[in-house]
Amino acid sequence: MPEVASKPLKSATDLSEVVTRYMSDEDASRVYDAFLLAAEAHEGVVRKSGEFYIFHPLEVAYTLADLHMDSDTICAALLHDVIEDTDYTKDDITKQFGQVVADLVDGVTKLAGGEFTTRQEVAAASFHKMMVAMTQDFRVVLIKLADRLHNVKTLAVRKPQAKHRIARETLDIHVPLARRMGMNVLRKDLQVIAFKHLYPWRYKVLQSRIDRFIDENAEQHHQITKNITQALLDNHIKGQVFRWEKNIYRLYQRLKEQKGSKHLDTQNEALEIRVLVNTSDECYKTLGYIHQLYQPKMYAFKDFIATPKGYGFQALQTAFVTPDQQLVRVQIQTHEMYQIAQYGITAHYRYPDLLKYSDKSKTYLNRWLEQVKEIQKATGSVAEFMEDMKADLFLQEIYILTPRGEPKVLPKGATPVDFAYAIHTEVGNKCVGAMIDGEPCRLSTPIPNGATVKIITDEDATPHSIWLNFAITAKARSSIRSWINKRKSHEFVELGKQILNKTLKKYKLSFDNIKPENLQQTLNTLGLKDVDSMFSSIARGNQSSKLVAKRLLNDDTLKPVSEKDEDQALLIKGTEGLAVNLQACCYPIPNDPIIAELDEQRGLEVHRSNCPVLNNNHGHKKKESISVAWVDDTRAESHFLAPINVTVRNRVGVLSHITNLLEDMRVNIEDINISGDSDVKEMYFLLQVNNEKHLRQIAQSLNNQSHVINVSRAFAHNIER
């Protein structure tokens, strides 16, 4: 197990000894200058652990120097808290160390809390800032990870609440970030230390179990590694075979999910072995020799050499059970693959001769950074961005093939919608269906590992907001949200124009008749940048259409031409889109008397005029009411949701009788809820209907049934769900 206690503090001499091994004298001198500035900036400041603050940036810099990172990165590591905690500015750092170092420091610097109301808002905004900076220079995240590593190593002195918060945040954000960068040594250290501070008793108990398991099976495990080593020597392969230390946090996660016995024994706990050889050819030969030596487990073989993981990880993985019933998992890699698996994107800094191999890690990272850029552009808020990125970072990977056999790496649980957006944003936007291994499937179907998926598109198709209920990748979710927000913005503009024209019609005018000078003066007075902003502001209820109309007319004395015009309603179909919303508290349908309110986020909220929620909305912000009515030509093929309560005598088969009747009438049931006692049942049905007349016909047919006592129109808030 890795050591989780803090090691002796690093000094400037320790750092100097490391950097002078691989840096030029000029770069090493530059690093020392950065140390001097950091020491001066933090002079006299003491951390909660009692140590002088300068030791923290020294530890961060030493971690990165141990990876042989360049001088810009080491300088930025030494100065990473200077902007945030001292009087030095970004300009000060730029003047002395250049723009690159200043940008790295600024990227790591958390945002100030003055403009935020909660710790969560600060965290989300700072995470967003760091990730945006990372798309310009990935070294920002390396500094942040090294910073977090030292912070968790010194958690012992923090209060329990802060300790738990920081440990949880580390597991939620920094660990998956390290994994995405392929930096598994750092990831494992962060996991284990955070776990120890989050659950100290569980850590202690589980560590003792691991130690006992290793001690009790030491001789058997030694014999297994010896047998594999000898098999390689017999076949003229020079390799290293060694036991791999278990990751206590991952073991904890597995045991938590495991049903049955949670003891560590040879039958349910694997001996993990690593085999390192010189070439890819030798990896495959070694696999064959191991399978000759021990009977492999079915379906346990994975070839990550031919199909590397998303961050460039390559290995052959297999498992077998010995005659003594010891489960063994083996991972076979070349030395280069092993170093890249441990150090990821930083491997070619630490081992420059691996550059030609670690280019794969850089390629995968660059692809991911481009994806982060897309998500950042498409996401509406920093909170949504953080939510999507956290979900994306955590997901395990599976491999899915296009019909041409091209592999795509997607998270476990990904659906055809995720796959469509992984191919291209437009493919996702135009997606109407999918086939998995030649069989039609729902768009919400999780794709199995190794499946071949074909996406069916239609040029007239558009994304659906319901996709957000099952799309799991950040790319898909942010793209769907982006399309919805753009469509919503357009619909708000159209709705606002309709509302304003409805108001202007009272004066026998339309927006097209407004004088340009009056329009510009109105925009200036209201502080709006353009006409679309004015329309949108009206639709959201932020501007009164009556007041805007009078400003546009530039005459406060004008009166409506007639009372009839004053009361003219805005005509709606109820199927306009995202800016017109039929409210689920009362489910208005065509022919119902209706009224509407303007909401800043949802636009026009349409209620039945007798809706209890609308009439009892005390204590809430007053919204502008709009007179609305249904258009006369609402088509029969349009469907609207309407709830009904059906009171019945409790008899065998009564529910089946009612649902069969609705099926015969070609009425779709969206939801059912049943309550009541042994004699009388109250059935709630949410039905798809064409209009109020259609609903009355359905109610009449149900009322004619012998077991039905009463049928009534329901309000959703009355139903115990």
Residues designated catalytic: 84-85
Please name the residue that has the structure tokens 């072995």: 273
Q: Between the CA of residue 240 and those of 337, 352, 670, what are the distances in Å? A: 14, 22, 62
CA 282, chain centre distance (Å): 39
Cα–Cα nearest to 72, from 35, 133, 30: 30
Contact between 300 and 318 (Cβ < 8 Å): yes
Q: Between the CA of residue 597 and those of 273, 499, 617, 637, 714, what are the distances in Å? A: 66, 12, 12, 27, 21
DSSP secondary structure, 93-108, as one string: HHHHH-HHHHHHHHHH
Q: At residue 526, what are phi and psi to the nearest 5 degrees?
A: -85, -5
Q: Which residues pair with 89 in a beta bridge?
A: none
Q: Where are the alpha helices (DSSP H) in 506-631?
A: 516-526, 531-539, 545-553, 563-566, 612-615
Rg of the chain (C-alpha set): 33
Contact between 84 and 346 (Cβ < 8 Å): no
Cα–Cα nearest to 209, from 264, 246, 277: 264
Cα–Cα nearest to 194, from 355, 65, 4: 4
Angle at 289 between CA 285 and CA 291, to 5 degrees: 115
Contact between 402 and 423 (Cβ < 8 Å): yes
Helix and strand totals (H; E) in the chain: 30, 20
Please name the residue that has the structure tokens 């840096």: 23
Q: Where are the alpha helices (DSSP H) in 181-235?
A: 184-198, 200-216, 218-234
Q: For the chain, how many residues are written?
A: 721
Q: Which residues pair with 407 in a beta bridge?
A: 401
Angstrom distance (rounded) from CA 518 to CA 242: 82
Angstrom distance (rounded) from CA 516 to CA 514: 6
Cα–Cα nearest to 152, from 214, 110, 183, 198: 198
Q: At residue 103, what are phi and psi to the nearest 5 degrees?
A: -65, -40
DSSP secondary structure, 8-49, as one string: PPP-HHHHHHHHHHHS-HHHHHHHHHHHHHHHHHTTT-B-TT
Cα–Cα nearest to 400, from 315, 307, 471: 307
CA 157, chain centre distance (Å): 32
Contact between 682 and 647 (Cβ < 8 Å): yes
Question: What is residue 171's DSSP assignment?
Answer: I
Q: At residue 591, what are phi and psi to the nearest 5 degrees?
A: 85, -15
Q: Which residues pair with 485 in a beta bridge?
A: none
Angstrom distance (rounded) from CA 316 to CA 300: 11
